[in-house]
Amino acid sequence: MVERIIVGRLNTNCYIYSRWKKECVIIDPGGDYEKIISHMVGKNLTPRGIILTHGHLDHVSALGKIIDYYVEQEIHLDIAAHEDDAIFFGSGAREIHEEAFQQMGIDGKALFQEMYKPIPDIDLFLEEGKSVFDCDLRVIHTPGHTKGSVCLYSEESDMLFSGDTLFFEGVGRTDLFGGDSQALFRSINEKLMPLPDRTRVFPGHGPLTTIERERGYNPYVQ
């Protein structure tokens, strides 16, 4: 089961992924924590943990509120992200996030003030090729959008959660802290395009797509 919840001012795709009857994992809770929690309660699902495809604020800003809610239910949730994006988490992360939004000018400063919530530390570091939270999602490290960007691939289900690495006929921006356009293109062409054509792609923003479509129509794919 995959369910998409569009959250936050930047319309981030938060995903609820489950291969179990009563449990799931939350991927990229970027805002609107009440909406995410309401969905979980309505479906009678308990999360095993939270996975972040990268550390940008529009993908992590609901973390603290979700963690707090489940603490009250006496449920501890681990936060899993790549070590190379650790700078976006914890007590020292505010300055990094604020700097990114400042590049957007006055509108960016106002948006930052509206969106920012304290970001907890990472509990588990995601590693290339390893599964996470005892499920079938395997980590593919895809630096470029950020140094620690990852995609999550299920070979069994022909699914890829691509974060902001790969979009429908597009890719994530590389002009923010840790961005590297050449690294992004290598990640996409060397690690994602070899996946089977039938692989369904669930991106961090925008509509779903497939590897076959992106190989044929995405201008950033060689």
- Kindly report the length of the chain: 222
pLDDT at 105: 63
pLDDT at 222: 74
The pLDDT confidence band at residue 106, using thresholds 50, 70 and 90, is: low
Report CA-CA distances (Å) from 206 to 4, 21, 97, 152. Answer: 11, 28, 22, 17
Question: pTM to 2 decimals?
Answer: 0.94
Q: What is the 3-state secondary structure (H, E, C) of 39-64?
A: HHHHCCCEEEEEECCCCCHHHHCCHH
Domain that holds residue 19: 2-217
How many domains, in total, are found in the chain? 1
pLDDT at 115: 85
CATH number at 12 reads 3.60.15.10
**Mean of the pLDDT values across residues 76-81?**
96
The pLDDT confidence band at residue 91, using thresholds 50, 70 and 90, is: confident
pLDDT at 184: 96
Domain annotation covers residue 222: no
- Using the 8-state DSSP alphabet, how is residue 85 labeled? G
Return the closest-CA partner of residue 16 out of 6, 32, 1.
1
Q: Which residue has the tokens 């936050």?
A: 8
Distance CA 24, CA 40 (A): 9
Distance CA 160, CA 211 (A): 9
Direct distance between the N- and C-terminal alpha carbons of the chain, in angstroms, rounded to an integer: 32
Does an H or E element contain 97, and which? helix 94-102
Is the Cβ–Cβ distance between 142 and 179 less than 8 Å? no
**Mean of the pLDDT values across residues 117-123?**
93
Distance CA 51, CA 136 (A): 13
CA atoms within 13 A on the CB side of 109: 3
Domain annotation covers residue 121: yes
pLDDT at 61: 93
pLDDT at 98: 85
**Neighbouring residues of 217: CB distance < 8 A, sequence distance ≥ 6:** 169
Domain annotation covers residue 186: yes
Q: Please tell me the least confidently modeled range out of 41-45, 99-103, 130-134, 200-204.
A: 99-103
Share of the chain above pLDDT 70, in %: 98
Domain annotation covers residue 180: yes
Which DSSP string corresponds to 9-23? Answer: TTTEEEEEE-SSSSE
Query: Which of residues 197 and 1 earns the better pLDDT score?
Result: 197
pLDDT at 132: 93
Distance CA 185, CA 171 (A): 9
pLDDT tens by residue, 142-159? 999 999 999 999 999 999
